[in-house]
Structure 1
Amino acid sequence: MTRTPTGRLLRVATGHDLVLTRTFRAHAEDVWASITEPERTARWFGPWEGEAGPGRTIKVQMAYEEQQPWMEARIEACEPPMRLAVTTIDEHGRWRLELRLSEVDGVTELKLVHHLRSTEAVGEIGPGWEYYLDMLVASRAGAPLPEFDSYYPSMKPYFDRLGATARDGAMS
């Protein structure tokens, strides 16, 4: 199945934000549970363990990656059910991420924001986030989980163009 990339790259004071959005016919509290409760995150990203809370570090397993690695995630902000900010640390370095939720009339919009210092690897990063957010959508719907091959390498040129445009100084 061919997937269409949805990510946007926005210039911000500290670099660029890669922003991906998904919409759910559900209350924000329910979507929040899907992104914060370990038994629910296990369905689309991976389980986590530890004592969660702002300023604390948990361990998260990337269950849908080769070798299912574990990484640390420091919780920078937790404002249920509207905002979760984490910094992840793994063999690829340190990533600053935010999940922002907003609800209107029982419809919740989820924005994943990856704060980037450089746009160099956006061609690899973007397709991965598209995949994981569609995994979330499928897990909530009880639908079959998508295959990563539907995202990468087919989406790489789209995200590479976003990164090149950003490096050339144009706004995306």
Structure 2
Amino acid sequence: MKRTSFAQWPCSIARTMDLLGDWWTPLVLRDAFYGVRRFDEFQQALGIARNTLADRLKRLVDEGLLEKVPYQTEPVRYDYVLTEKGRDFYPVLLAMTRWGDKWLATEAGPPITVHHLACGHDTHAEIVCAECREPLTPDDTRMRRGPGFPPRLAQRPDVEERFARQE
């Protein structure tokens, strides 16, 4: 069955899910942040089928989140290294971790903790306003159409209603 592409939808969540919308891709990125760089290391750490891993790594390279860097010439073998675009995914993983720690951890507590080297404390992600640094919650934020919203969709009654509810 062919899945629907969200790549052209006027929504950053939909576009992100189009790129990362399977359970292996975020785990490959997670392991890249753990320092895993080689195909066999990813395969061993995740227990993922080789063909599935090859597909996910190719997609992440094609989309610019990972870069292939040769570490051996005979035969050619590569490290998969996070790019700036890939490193920018880290806050997304931290937000997912925070939610999972709150709602899915066992009574023993979270399986992994985030340790902030700069202050020496274990911590968790918080989503804050880039201007005032206050936490962002559903109660004190609203979604509005941005400059990239397609004009052809802006006048549709369902779209107008969706954004009118946000005002």
Q: TM-score, normalised by structure 2?
A: 0.25
Pick the structure with more helix per residue: 2
Pick the structure with more strand per residue: 1
Question: Max radius of gyration: which structure?
Answer: 2
